[in-house]
Structure 1
Amino acid sequence: MAPKTYLSLDTDLKSEKRDTTLLRYFANKAKEANYLEGQAYALNQIGTKYRNISQFKKAADLHTEALQLSEKANSTELKVLSLNMLGVVYRRTDAIKTALDYNQKALELAEQVENPSHHIRRSINVSLNCIGNLYQTLEQYDLAIMQFRRALKLEEELGNKLGLAINHQNIGDCLEEKGDLEGALENYRKSLAYNEEINSDIGRVICKNSLAQVYLKQDMPYAALVLLEPLHEQSKSIGDFYITSSVFINTGWAHTVLGEYDKAEQFIEEGLEMAQNHNMPSNVLFGLQKRSALESKRGNFKEAYEYYKKADEFDREISSATNLRYMNDIIVRYEADKKNNQISVLAKENEIVRLRLRKNQTTLLVSALIVGLVASILYILYRQYQNKNEKRVLSLEQNMLRSQMNPHFLFNSLNSIKLYIINNEQKNAVHYLNKFSKLVRKILEASSVKEISLEDELETVELYMNIENIRFSNEIDFKITLDDDINPDVIKVPSLTLQPFLENALWHGLSPKKGEKKIHIHVKRKNKNHVSIEIEDNGVGRGAAEVNKEKRVLKRKSVGIRITKERLANFAKDYQNNFDVDIVDLFDDNGNPKGTKVVLDIPTV
């Protein structure tokens, strides 16, 4: 007997459903045998393949034929599937009114089924997801998120990782539109993790493109390009021009921000052409807007205005008042029906609860008191933990500021400037006094923020070394080098991180050394997620420094490095990767100490 349900059909054709040739063969054989369910299943699968390569007209025709066959066969499962697939196709071409009709019909039909099968439950989630996408198009993001979260809960119950990936992606899209970029990033990363688990190429491309778009909004074009450039060929190989055009337009946006205008024009135009050729209005609008921004950056304000006008006209076309009014009427009617149903259900549930309360009033009261007591205890413990953690972070910041502004350094610096004044070296006195005041100001400013750019941090330590070098009669050779692929303006580091390591090198490495004295800071790219900062000195080495420290009458405690490591560990909680600190002893060919190297790995993602 031929299988009639979606599950049995999908199970029997599991190995063949990815091959459109075999599916067509099966559809033809089913037609010859008047096997309506088999024919409808195959046509829906083939339609989905055409949709994923942006051949929307063919996809819509196949799903429509599948719907007619499902109605003849009186198969609710296949009718719901066909309606949902039609809704997805029309949504991808921005035919919102038609898409909403199909998805709402699918949801209403599925919700009428008593004891729904696994596939019907999945179809309800698909309908919710699609309706959420349509709310999103209407810029009603809170309504959209409500639908996606409802679907997310149901997908968790079904253990469907693909559904979890899709709904986290959609929630991220809505949060991004609302301006909650951190919330969007969190959901995009969750979606990417699920797509990695199920090994979905298209899911990975969509997530990475979305992450890159958020990085662009956060003014991080280099981070965006790291994600986007591998997607060019990957998205083309998938064949979904909706995604590919977005990837290319975002790449053009990144090059616009970096001032690489010719590259930007090439990528935006290629993405725009794909969107126009495959009838994707929202991507056409996006491409025109980015082309206008590019011409404005170039200073071609006339051309920028022309593209702006085109985008504005196009926006009005795809958001006509009739279409939006119809959609809003449908949404209001749908929400009203849902609320009426919910009120009816709630009334019945309230009656049941009221009857139960009469019988179990004492038990409920005791339970409520216990729950309240436990909740209060948990809240108090949580607040204590939070306060303790906040005090610890504040203490670290205060200790760091004290280590940066320690009295020895201030006294020595002012004494050195005083000597210039006594020796009537007014230019040197004014020069170093300016540097000293600028350094103090930068330390105080940096101590009030959690993170600063690497550019500002390097400027601060350069001022610090200029002041300290007075005590060494300017005999320390200090330099900072950055590799060509490093942009210190976009790299963020915890404030006041490097100075304790330089101070340690000066006091314990170079102070007891005779002859040439060097400190070199080298910033280089370790990998796409890390930047490495190396602080190398040619001092006496840690072994000799430890011996010298024990001989001193006044022993100086090196608390700055310990505090810095604790701050880095605390700061790393906001990143995917950890901050690593390694201290390496350097030796010459004969095994004699020749200095120390401190290596800090700073995550950029």
Structure 2
Amino acid sequence: MRKYSTVTLVLLLLSAHLSAMSGADSLRLSLNYAEDLNEKVETAIRLSRELNRNKAEKDSAFFYARRAVDWAATGSDTLLMANSLDNLGLLYRYNQRYAQSIPLHRKAYELTQARSDRKRYLMRFANNAAVAARYNQDHALAVEYYLNALRLAEEENDLRNIAIASNGLGNSLSYINPDSPEATQHFTRALEVEEVRGNPRGMAMNLLSMASYHTRQKEHRQAQHLLERLLTINQQINDGHGLAITYEYFGHNASSEGRYTQARVYYQQALRGFEAENNRLKMSDLLHHLGQTAEALNQTGRAEQYYRQALELAEQGQHKALIAGTAERLSRLFEKQNNYARALHYNKISEAYKDSLDVLQQQSVMEGLQMQYNFEQKENEIMLLRAQQETREAAFSAQQERFKRERNFYVALLLILLTSTTVVVLILRNLNLKKNIRLTREAHRHEQVQQEFQRNLWQAEILATRLQMNPHFLFNCLNSIKYLIQKGQQREAIKYLTTLSKFMRELLETGKQQSVALEQELELAQKYVTLEALRFDQDLDFVVHTPEALKDRLRDIQLPPMVLQPFLENAIWHGLIPSTKAQKVLHIELQQHQQELRISISDNGVGRSRKPQTPTKGHRSMGLQITRDRIALYNKITHNTLRTQTIDLVDEQQQAAGTRVELSINLPVS
């Protein structure tokens, strides 16, 4: 009896210990004992999500999410791999690292796309990719994936995902083209679907999106009507967080209309709601808006008090964007009061955090590009391993076949010896002939595998050189956008950013291509020159001259992607920008000489023989050397002959009159 009591006590203590363990500890224990690959990956995914809820465990959350990806890569289940990539992308998104989450969600979508029976996962991955792109301000990419999700949801008649995709399309389209009726149509459809589903929270989310859109469009009555409907819904479901957000947007609408006293009342109601939740980020944001409202009402002392409270909360939570914005407001406030010492103090704080945000954004973009490169490199490694596996299997099969033939040979030899020597000679001759054919085939197959391996290595080298050039150009453009914003030229900055996003979109679409059509390369060159002209506020005459005989062949002529850009960059930076000429000309001319095409890039700048009066300080063109390396690799892979030649132009007095770069390549046989 005492023995059974002891066992019962031990079991009770063990049960109490397991109950006291946290969810994360329990999952760690389960992970240690997991033997099946699927169970191990899924447990690691759940553990990463559990740890992500605790700020102190963020690094551990990413560690287990990456382990899940590595484990999934060892198996052959593409859906398991897609789920692990999507989970890692969600962690990046939850931590505002959107540029890194986008390639993960897109890869998850691509891995699942071939499976027609996995539409539910495809919808989820497409929506996640779209949300990350929208938060990263890449609304064009967001629209692409929202449309994919909507198409799948309509095929499955999945009302929930129809509502999610329609709401996302409304939000993205409202930023791409605010005056287009498409945004309102998608919002309305999402709201109607949520009404059919009887989902009040979904209805509230769409009403909030629609009200925000109408506020931005200065359609305040429509926004007020939608917010009143939203208030009723949140009161019915007793959603404190939803009520606080509703009053916040009432305040935004009133402030946009100039009703600052009413806006302050709404902001204070929202602030009390977020104080009840101890949501310090939203409290800081509301105090910032209250400061703006007080400043609009000329209540300088109250505005300063609100801004100080907002800054204190933002610093506690290390919300860098809020710190920068609030410090900038305080700087302007003290500047109006002629208190320049304090204005300078807060201006320094604002600029420091703005620089920090710029660096973080650039790092995020670069890490996203590096992650995409790593995916492609890993895929090449997998292809190589598969080729090696096929070679080993072929060798094993050949060995088995050889053993079988040798056995048959000895049996046949015994029979042949019983007949005649002549028959033996004929049979041996036949066997030797077959053996030579088999060896020749094996040697040929081995040579093909070696050639494929060498080609993959060369392609990896080309991709590496292109990844050196793209960040160099991207950093220049981002710094130019920052400079325009600092100068207060927001319109020019928005125009520049829009052109840059279209350019980068087309550039990334050629990321896996070994070569592109000359027609596409000329279009990219046109966009690049437009970017540089906007960047330096230069009036450039850019002309592309194509003979009629060549216009129909531009799609058939192949070049390495972005091969013209470094020469155009060199002409603009070192030729045209230092030039004092009133008319600055950049000219691309195509000429056919027998079976050879010559592409001439000419400028009327200062030339190479003269040192510029105003050199472009801090700019050193790495693109030319990278391009030469890329051309050499391209010639190796394609067995083509792409050559470059630089010619100094002079006028009648033998003075420098510009530079011409000629690229020559053999034309394809028509």
Q: TM-score, normalised by structure 1?
A: 0.40
